[in-house]
Structure 1
């Protein structure tokens, strides 16, 4: 079992049980205790858990730190610029998908005041509510389980509807992006729905401010080769545009300071 698989399993068990012991986990997944200690140390550094004597617990602040309201308030200027740039890809009659990310919600806020005719499929409750008064936007909310501390849906209950809809563009964000792992997130259950959303879409556009770059989380939902375009701000690491080009990923830069 590779490290990402182990860490995904660890997070699943922590989400269910709130705490785990290295000894029990070692027996269950047939991995040495030394390897698991290394995993837990790395995951603690990433803020996903807290090490205890002989195991780990899910951080008391985990849900709070990753809650929608907190994520929404971070890098708001950059997210707004990225959302406005994303509208340049849209035209009347398209069917688009918005995930439950705070950046996708920012895009919905821009669309709310945009004269355009669209069908919007989303897993975000706030995103659906933002758009439901628009006279020319039809909103389809995917079914699923309401995630605690958030306004998103997770699980596979809404997957079947995706086979009945043609999605022109999916706009998604992530907890992190790296060339090796693609788009990654910390919630393994939400990731499963995002995978289905990616697979159902003709084109995948990632909305990522610079703080998401070169950052990995627990589970990948879209490898780099599945991403058609990244829209980001103007604070990318040096040389990153060239690296993305090598992987055939197009990029659009949204400047927060532009008028």
Structure 2
């Protein structure tokens, strides 16, 4: 049997968790022909990345522990950094534009700032909370993409919203990710949400990545935007000159968001 690499194993684990809500090391070992020791290391790493919760002998879906844990835990993490990144992102937005916001907690932070601004916009989003945040703004048209809403999630998944994207001219897409690396670009842990995010990236004239320091040089399961699809990266991360030079070589503009800390 051909050797399976770690990202392939972890994608299989996530797919099984999405379907069955729980997995055991023994079952996984039999099904994908990998040692239990290797799988335990996979599960430990995936728990560190916030993808699942370890149990004795296996793991359970984080959506199975508390319906609100997944999104609201992420929303509270690095909140001041996300706020600084959102304020910096605001500088890119002009009156009359059509922008797109993904379902990330950082994009939601940007929506909260936009809500208080006197600005005329069309906002396309895959985030239910983001749409609710902006829908009463008198000068904003909010378009919520179609898709599947999963238990414990406040985002839309799948390909149902892709047809809408083909009918709209989008100036800027603001997106976050579970991880960003030079090898894989922007990555996320939901293989189902990634399908829609890929289409969102392709529909936008410019893609702006909103990434706090915890996301940089980190990989998740599935990639939704390669380096050549990213135009601007906004972060609080003190990026070394070597990394700045590498991103410049990929024609990615880096904007540093100053934080109070």
Corresponding residue for 2:60?
A: 58
Corresponding residue for 1:85?
A: 88
Question: Counterpart of 1:33 in 2: which secondary structure?
Answer: coil
Please, which of 112, 135, 140 is the counterpart of residue 138 of structure 2? Answer: 135
Whole-angstrom distance in 1 between the partners of 2:237 and 2:30:
48
Q: 2:62 touches 2:69 (CA, 8 Å); kept in 1?
A: no
RMSD: 2.5
Unmatched runs of 5 consecutive residues or more in structure 1: none
Corresponding residue for 1:185?
A: 188
Whole-angstrom distance in 1 between the partners of 2:240 and 2:15:
32
Q: How does 1:22-171 map to 2 (within 5 A)?
A: 32-34=33-35, 38=38, 40-47=40-47, 48=52, 50=54, 53=57, 56-59=58-61, 64=66, 67-171=70-174
Q: 2:63 touches 2:151 (CA, 8 Å); kept in 1?
A: no
Corresponding residue for 1:196?
A: 199
Deviations 1:191-248 (A, max 9, x none): 1111111111111100001111011111111112211110011534564322322333
The verdict on how the C-alpha distance between 1:46 and 1:33 changes in structure 2, with shifts beyond 3 A counting, is closer
Whole-angstrom distance in 2 between the partners of 1:139 and 1:21:
43
Deviations 1:24-75 (A, max 9, x none): 65776xx5424x853552242230353765xx33255776596111111111
Q: How does 1:167-246 map to 2 (within 5 A)?
A: 167-236=170-239, 239-246=242-249
The verdict on how the C-alpha distance between 1:103 and 1:230 changes in structure 2, with shifts beyond 3 A counting, is same
Question: Counterpart of 1:216 in 2: which secondary structure?
Answer: coil
Whole-angstrom distance in 1 between the partners of 2:75 and 2:53:
22
Equivalenced residues, count: 253
Whole-angstrom distance in 2 between the partners of 1:26 and 1:42:
12
Q: How far off is 1:16 after superposition?
A: 0.5
The verdict on how the C-alpha distance between 1:38 and 1:249 changes in structure 2, with shifts beyond 3 A counting, is farther
The verdict on how the C-alpha distance between 1:195 and 1:99 changes in structure 2, with shifts beyond 3 A counting, is same
Corresponding residue for 2:21?
A: 18
Q: Which moved more, 1:140-149 or 1:198-207?
A: 140-149
